[in-house]
Amino acid sequence: MPSENKTSLSPWLPAFLSLIIPGSGQIILSHKTRGFALFLAFFALLGLVLWTQAYALLAPLALLLIWIARDAYRLAKGSEPSWGVSLLLIGIVLYGTALIVTEVRPTRMITGLPNVTPYLRSLFNPELFETPMKEVVGVTPIMVPCVDPLPAPNREATTSPQLILSAPCTEVGDLLQVTGAGFEPNESGQMQWIDPLGSPRRATFDGEVVTFKADENGRFDVTLLVPQAVPLTAQPAPGETLTHAVRAVQNIPSGRLQPTQTLSLVIEKIGETIALAFLATVMGVIFAVPVSFLAARNLMSGNPVTMLIYNVVRAILNVIRSIETLLWAIIFAVWVGLGPFAGTLALWFHTVAALAKLYSEAIESIDSGPIEAVKATGASWPQMVIYAVFPQILPTFTSFTLYRFDINVRLSTVIGLVSDAGLGFLVVQWVRLNRFSAMATALIAIILVVAILDFLSSWLRERIIQGRPIISSTNPLVRTVLKTVIIVGFVATFIWSWNVAQIKLIELVKGAPQGLALAREFATPELFTRPTKTVAISAPLTVPCGAAEPSTPADATITLSADCGETGDPLVIEGTGLPPNRTVSVRWVLPDGGYLRVRSNCCDTDDDGNLRVETAINPIVVMEEGQTEPARVEITYEEIAGRIQLSETVRTVIRLSIVTLLMALVATTLGALFAIPLSFLAARNIMGDTPAGRTIYYGLRTFFNVARSIEPLILVLIAATWVGAGPFAGVLALALNNIPNLGKLFSDSIEEINSGPVEAVTSTGATRMQSLVYAVVPQLVPPFLAFIIYQWDINIRMSTVIGFVGGGGIGQQFRIWVSLNQYGAAGTAILAIVIMVWTMDYLSAKARERLI
């Protein structure tokens, strides 16, 4: 690529050009890609700086401009191109603006700590079991103050248990002796004072809360102070009295330990979570298999028609996949209504697309030899598929299916954030109610469900990949029994899931018109608008006549049959020279700005742009005392003003897309920065076999595995209470998910490095640090980059949905638009998401090719 043309021009010329238009110098020196890249980078960064108004960042940007000019000069001199400093400058500006846009405020992590500590504490205190409590209550009324004669109290006393008071009436501030009988022996309890309205308060004596402990006969004696239970403003009239009461309560465990209501709910939702994932996977497979054959290039490349089908199917699959499951869940919720069914549909839909793509790639990578051989025997196409294709793809298919099942389990834990299915729903509800320990119970359930199902499916997957039979017994009877159990179990699980997920296919049909209308609205994104302005013409109308003199005369194009009159008088309003065949609005307008339409659904102009409305003078226009200006009759209509331009929706969507991208960028960077040092501590070969090393290794690995199983969407809920809703919460949640995720991938690749080079470098007498830098790091660069890019791809997708639960970005706006029924705008957001995901996928594929 470097240009060999020895240009006779002075090297100052390209340098000067690049100073005026960044990159142009490089372009005339035939470094076209470099030139365009610099040009785009410079102006993109300039745009970001101006948008965020972080003018301090103009300084590094200016340095970048100088660097670009110097680069052009150096290239003209024939030096090798290098990036060095420019990357640093680009980094400063990019991250500088990104931190502003994503509202990263580390201080909020400290100030918000009190909000989030209850979550952490309650993680160790889930609501699992409880002993049911029985209340033993004794109540006796007492009159305050004492009067003569003392009226009968309007409350009943309990007889068993029973409270005996030292007096039937008393005064505020006096002491009262209470004797209890018939209480639960040897159990403690509390004394309460009940005011005349029935509200209890704790009884006190000497500033202490009065408690009691019944003796072995169930008796006790206490003294309490009569409180000022009635506000001074509501005191009884002299000679009258009010019924108060003394109450003694014992809370006694009764019966056996039993699961809390929280636990029962969580268990019910665990079932729902698994059912949703299972159903979506099974249904997904049923649909994905046939589709995958249509999307396999080697099977479809026969003729132009099949090739066309191939391309269409591929395109549809790509669109479906690039829209996150949660977005689909919202869309389906509009179609079939909220509930598990919408969630299942979304999961199922996404599963079909994802599996069909994976399957078709498996089909594309099969060995063509057996196909040729089977074809050579004169077999038909279906025969060929069954005998030559199926046997080759079965293990891969099963493995991909299990992998997708894992993903579906994770997704169904969060589908509840937008519907009412699965564990995620409980988490959201309990977060909103601040029921920390209940939420912790659900969170722990999520971790366990994900971990256990992960373990099961990886066990199955390993057996399948290694070609080992799933049933290891060779006894034919045992085999038959086990096979039957598996099949019956599978069918039973399917039927159970079908019921749990509340599949009502009829809803799909019933909702179809709505769904179609919705699809049409989604498919007509609001891209452009023409700005309009309201044109108003008006004429004064004085009621009654002579009450005032109008300060502004009537406009030329509006005529009233009379310029004054009485309420109810007939009035003809005529307009001329208006836009033809247009709906206009005709109304009474008061001087204070209030108005009333002359007629609802009024009125259309004729072919010549004339309008005639017959009406009667409305009482609203009658002049009131002190009013100096008469009311007016006004005709208004909208007129196009100015050129077509991007709609407000598009501008919002573009702005939020940039925010979303920058959120993913900051989160990925933070995740990687923290994961790298941790990953070395979680690598077996680095930590060695000392007790301390083993402890750190196992500790970190456990942390990675547990933290990874919590979806970022659930972390957003916690992050939003921690640092407040907004992009920072989203960034924080993504980073918290990325650290263990990348940490695990990184430490796995550290464990896999080739020990040969390390040995060789060590044998030269190098220090530990030196062998790390020269033998370990170079081996880690490619896998680390690959994983960071992979995480970036995931983060892009994730950051489109974390806004649903307070994480900022485009997802938040999408949800608002859907809830406001602005489906056109929501469609625009979807379009932007698809474009964004595709562009970033393409760029990261390119980056992967170049860097690794």
Partner 1 sequence: MLQIKNLTKIFPNGTVALNNVSFDVQDGEFLVIIGLSGSGKSTLLRCINRLIEPTSGAVLWNGQNITEAGSAELKQIRRQIGMIFQHFNLVKRSSVTTNVLTGRLGYVHPVWSLFGRFTADDRRRALAALDRVGIADKADSRADQLSGGQQQRVGIARALMQEPQLLLADEPVASLDPVLSHSILRYLELLNQQDSITVLCSLHFLDLVHRYATRVVGLKGGELVFDGLPSELTPEKFKEVYGEEAEMVSVAPPNAV
Instruction: Write b or e for each residue in 292-324: b if 16 or more Cβ atoms lie within 10 A of its Cβ, otherwise e.
Output: bbbbbeebbeeeeeeeeebeebbeebbebbbbb
Give me the DSSP letters along 691-708: HHHHHHHHHHHHHHHHHH
Nearer to partner 1 among residue 400 and residue 784 (C-beta): 784
Contact 766, 774 (CB under 8 A): yes
Minimum separation from the CB atom of position 668 to partner 1 (A)? 23
Q: Which is nearer to partner 1, 481 or 760 (CB)?
A: 760
Cβ 766 to partner 1 shortest distance, Å: 4
Alpha helices in 416-551 (DSSP H): 423-432, 436-465, 476-500, 505-510, 512-522
Minimum distance from residue 790 beta carbon to partner 1 (Å) = 19
Phi, psi of 612 (to 5 degrees): -140, 120
Verify binding: residue 773, partner 1, rule CB under 8 A: yes
Output 369 or 677, the one with its CB closest to partner 1. Answer: 677
H/E/C letters for each residue in 375-444?
HHCCCCHHHHHHHHHHHHHHHHHHHHHHHHHHHHHHHHHHHHHCCCCCHHHHHHHHHHCCCHHHHHHHHH
C-beta of 337: minimal distance to partner 1 in Å? Answer: 56
Residue 761 engages partner 1 in binding (rule: CB under 8 A): yes
- Who contacts 664 (Cβ-Cβ below 8 Å, separation ≥6)? 734, 792, 795, 796, 798, 799
Choices 41-49, 102-110, 296-304, 775-783; region in contact with partner 1 by CB under 8 A: 775-783
- Of the candidate residues 45, 65, 775, 801, the single one contacting partner 1 (CB under 8 A): 775
Please state, in angstroms and as integers, the Cα–Cα distance from residue 220 to each residue in 165, 186, 211, 244, following that order. Answer: 12, 10, 10, 21
Q: Which is nearer to partner 1, 551 or 755 (CB)?
A: 755
762 scored as a contact of partner 1 (CB under 8 A): yes
Q: Does 506 bind partner 1 (CB under 8 A)?
A: no
Task: Give min distance, CB of 84 to partner 1, in A.
Answer: 13
Task: Work out how close the CB of 761 gets to partner 1 at its nearest, in angstroms, rounded to a whole number.
Answer: 5
E-strand stretches of 568-662: 570-575, 585-589, 595-597, 611-616, 631-640, 645-646
> Does a cis peptide bond (omega within 30 degrees of 0) precede residue 544?
yes
Span near partner 1 by CB under 8 A; candidates 413-421, 461-469, 670-678, 767-775: 767-775
Pick the closer one to partner 1 by CB: 550 or 757. Answer: 757
Query: Could you tell me the smallest distance in angstroms from the CB atom of residue 781 to partner 1?
Result: 7
690 binds partner 1 (CB under 8 A): no
| Residue 783 tokens, joined | 């896998």
Minimum distance from residue 652 beta carbon to partner 1 (Å): 45
Cα gap 753→634, rounded to integer Å: 82
Mode of pairing for the β-strands spanning 204-205 and 242-253: unpaired
Cβ-based nearer residue to partner 1, 73 or 784: 784
> What radius of gyration, in Å, describes the C-alpha atoms of the chain?
38
Q: Fill in the amino acid letter for 620.
A: I
Q: What are the residues whose beta carbons fall under 8 Å from the beta carbon of 234, sequence distance 6 or more?
A: none
Residues in contact with partner 1, counted by CB under 8 A, come to a total of: 22
* 258 vs 770, beta carbon nearer partner 1: 770
CB of 783 to partner 1, least distance (A): 11
SS3 565: coil
Residues 781-820 that bind partner 1 (CB under 8 A): 781-782
From the list 390-398, 403-411, 695-703, 770-778, the region that binds partner 1 by CB under 8 A is 770-778
Instruction: Give the residue, chosen from 239, 513, 764, 849, that forms a contact with partner 1 under the rule CB under 8 A.
Output: 764
Contact map string, positions 721 to 760, toward partner 1, x by CB under 8 A: ---------------------------------x-xx-xx
Which residue, 264 or 767, has its beta carbon nearer to partner 1? Answer: 767
> Contacting partner 1 (CB under 8 A), which of 623, 774, 790, 794?
774
CB of 770 to partner 1, least distance (A): 5
Nearest distance in Å: CB 742, partner 1: 20
Give, in order, the Cα–Cα distances in Å from 619 to each of 566, 613, 623, 631.
Answer: 8, 18, 9, 11
| Closest to partner 1 by CB, 198 or 765 | 765
Greatest C-alpha distance within the chain: 123
Closest to partner 1 by CB, 207 or 765 = 765
Alpha-carbon gap, residue 579 to 604, rounded angstroms: 10
Which of 407, 406, 397, 399 has the alpha carbon at shortest distance from 288? 397
Query: CB of residue 645 vs partner 1: minimum separation in angstroms?
Result: 51
Among 1, 376, 505, 769, binds partner 1 (CB under 8 A): 769
Give the residue, chosen from 53, 233, 690, 763, that forms a contact with partner 1 under the rule CB under 8 A.
Answer: 763
What letter does residue 773 receive in the DSSP assignment? I
Location of structure tokens 């969060």: 414
For residue 636, the 8-state DSSP code is E
Q: Where are the alpha helices (DSSP H) in 511-610?
A: 512-522
Residue 765 binds partner 1, judged by CB under 8 A: yes
| Burial classification of residue 114, based on how many CB atoms lie within 10 Å of its CB (0-12 exposed, 13-18 middle, 19 or more buried) | exposed
Looking at 613, 766, 831, 834, which residue binds partner 1 (CB under 8 A)? Answer: 766
How far is residue 741 from each of residues 687, 696, 746, measured CA to CA in Å? 20, 17, 9
Token pair of 67, please?
């660097």
User: Could you tell me which stretch among 453-461, 769-777, 799-807, 828-836 binds partner 1 (CB under 8 A)?
Assistant: 769-777
CB closer to partner 1, 367 vs 689: 689
d(CA 349, CA 353): 7
How far apart CA 71 and CA 292 sit, in angstroms, is 50
CB under 8 A: which stretch of 38-46, 475-483, 633-641, 761-769 binds partner 1?
A: 761-769
Q: Does 1 bind partner 1 (CB under 8 A)?
A: no
For partner 1, give the closer residue by CB, 132 or 677. Answer: 677
Nearer to partner 1, 646 or 852 (CB): 852
Under rule CB under 8 A, residue 271 binds partner 1 = no
Indicate the residue among 305 and 769 with the shorter CB distance to partner 1. Answer: 769
Min dist. Cβ of residue 695 to partner 1 (A): 20
Q: Find residue 485's DSSP bridge partners.
A: none
Q: How far is 360 from 356, CA to CA, in rounded Å?
A: 6
Q: Nearer to partner 1 by C-beta: 566 or 751?
A: 751
| Nearest distance from C-beta of residue 672 to partner 1, angstroms | 19
133 lies in the site for partner 1, by CB under 8 A: no
- Strand 585-589 to 631-640 pairing: antiparallel
Instruction: Select the residue interacting with partner 1 from 615, 779, 822, 844 (CB under 8 A).
Output: 779
Q: How far is the CB of 778 from partner 1 (least distance, A)?
A: 5
Residue 779 CB, nearest approach to partner 1 (Å): 7
Q: Cβ of residue 756: shortest distance to partner 1, in angstroms? A: 4
Binding-site string for partner 1 from residue 462 to residue 491, where x marks contact by CB under 8 A and - marks none: ------------------------------
- Token code pair at residue 558: 């509006």
Among 462, 469, 778, 838, binds partner 1 (CB under 8 A): 778
Give 201's strand partners: 193
Least distance (Å) between residue 85 CB and partner 1: 16
3-class DSSP state of 128: coil
- The footprint of partner 1 (CB under 8 A) covers 754, 756-757, 759-767, 769-771, 773-775, 778-779, 781-782
